[in-house]
Amino acid sequence: MNTDDLVVIGKIGAVHGVRGEVKIHSFTDPVDNLQDYPKWTLRREKETKQVELASARFQGKGLVAKIQGVDDRDIARTYAGFEICVPRSEFPELEEGEFYWYQLIGLQVITQDQQLLGRVDHLLETGANDVLVVKPCAGSLDGRERLLPYTDQCVIAVDLAQGIISVEWDADF
């Protein structure tokens, strides 16, 4: 499998109990959407493994999962720290004008005045709206990191083909 085609949808944390279950930090929204992808590619540094999800359930505010064939706490511990990845091709198609976060990362952010603010480094979920974390890059207006709300008032257009997000934003702000 081409690892460039993989998208991280979660991460395996500590073990849970004695039967080989692990705590999962899901990056999906809602968090239990991670269960929609039963075949995972686990990645940690240069190591990859193919596994299947046997089961998952809510435990407190997070998820606890059982990986197929892992029935022992000590074996489950060896999975801690692995990123949970799936191929982009497994993601459902989105409506026009909707984007996955991974599609926005790396795009240039340009104001209506054609000033380059930087590139999207990552996004934050705040509850009210998502936030673009824009870091300076070659050709940026200045060396400032900016936090821009991902709202209709701020984001005017997203052009994936051109690699540009057009924003209504005062560069001095």
Residue 154 has pLDDT above 90, yes or no: yes
Residue 16 has pLDDT above 90, yes or no: yes
Q: Are 168 and 153 in contact (CB under 8 A)?
A: yes
Residue 25 has pLDDT above 80, yes or no: yes
User: What ranges do the domains of the chain cover?
Assistant: 3-90, 101-167
For 19, 67, 75, 102, 140, the CA distances from 70, given in Å and listed in that order, are: 8, 6, 7, 30, 49
**Superfamily of segment(s) 3-90:** RimM (2.40.30.60)
Q: What is the pTM of this model?
A: 0.77
For 30-79, write each residue's pLDDT tens digit: 888 999 999 999 999 989 999 999 999 998 888 999 999 999 999 999 99
Task: Please tell me the CATH code under which domain 101-167 is placed.
Answer: 2.30.30.240
Task: Select the more confidently predicted residue: 151 or 61.
Answer: 151
User: Rounded to an integer, what distance in angstroms lies between the CA atom of residue 116 and that of residue 98?
Assistant: 23
